[in-house]
Amino acid sequence: MDNYQPALNDVFHALADPTRRAVLRQLTRGPASVTALAKPFDMALPSFMKHIAVLEESDLISSRKIGRVRTCALTPRKLARAERWLAEQRILWEDRTDRLANFAESRASKETKI
């Protein structure tokens, strides 16, 4: 339990960010280069690399550099079943909370315009 908890903390921290969840979703379709992963995001590369670093530290993904290309891949086996189960619920609730926030914020901005 002692060495299980810090790992779980890292996983949750990794999953708490929408950019990082989007990267994980992209990687479910197979390994991809950092450049390709960064493309959908309006973000400077150094900021994006920080997200990649968090995902690597949590052991959710691994990356390796061949020549000038760094390729990332999911490391599904790193998550114990217990962690996977809770990670799944985590994704559900993080996403749900983001949708609520977006929904309430757009309603709030509409109200102030009227």
Partner 1 sequence: MTADLGRDLTISRIIKAPRAIVWEAWTDPKLMEEWWCPVPWRAEVQAFDLRPGGAFDTLMRGPDGEENPHPGSFLDVVPMERIVFTTALTEGWRPAAPWLAMTAIITMKDHPDGTDYSAVVKHADRETRDRHEALGFYDGWGAVLEQFAAIVEKRA
Give CB contacts under 8 A, 24+ apart, made by 35-39.
Answer: 35/69, 37/72
Stretch that binds partner 1, among 31-39, 41-49, 65-73, 105-113 (CB under 8 A): 105-113
The minimum distance between CB 47 and partner 1, in angstroms, equals 20
Nearest to 49 by CA among 60, 25, 30, 33: 33
95 binds partner 1 (CB under 8 A): yes
Block residue for tokens 């390796």: 64
- List residues binding partner 1 (CB under 8 A): 1, 4-5, 8-9, 12, 16, 21-22, 24-29, 74, 76, 79, 81-82, 84-91, 93-105, 107-108, 111
